[in-house]
Amino acid sequence: MAFTMTVTENAAQRLGLIINQQREDDTQGLRIFSRGGGCGCSGPSFAMGIDAPTAEDNVLDVHGVRIIVDPVTAPNLEGASIDYSEDDLMRKGFTIDAPNVQPAGEGGGACGCGHGGGH
């Protein structure tokens, strides 16, 4: 089954500008990866950077933006969407809505850094 993700047109426009300014060659794109660390029950967090794909990566071209996702991160990002927004309080940024991500404590009763959930 092919890996799928959605990028809104607004996010694609903004990402296109960033990638074109920062990439060193045409093979590079936006790598999205799981970021380790942190404590709590929110599940994995994601980071983004400019990188070239490897043979194992999932590579998508969405609205002219090359998205690169490694095979470890891909299950969490399957069916995810990326958007870009700016609000009236001068906050702006990208959001990733990943429907396959469940909070770390769900189902197992454990949350955080070695602390049991609900105890």
- Please report which confidence band the pLDDT of residue 2 belongs to, taking 50, 70 and 90 as the band edges: confident
E runs forming strands in the chain: 6-7, 29-35, 45-51, 58-62, 65-69, 81-86, 92-97, 110-111, 115-116
Position 94 in a domain: yes
Decide if pLDDT at 16 tops 90: yes
Position 109 in a domain: no
Write the pLDDT tens digit of every residue in 63-118: 999 999 999 999 999 999 999 998 777 778 999 998 888 665 544 444 444 433 33
Q: Which residue's structure tokens are 């602390």?
A: 115
CATH of the domain at 72: 2.60.300.12
The mean-pLDDT minimum among 6-15, 40-49, 56-65, 85-94 falls in: 40-49
Domain count, the chain: 1
Residue 10 lies in domain = 1-36+56-100
* Helix ranges (DSSP H) in the chain: 9-22, 74-77
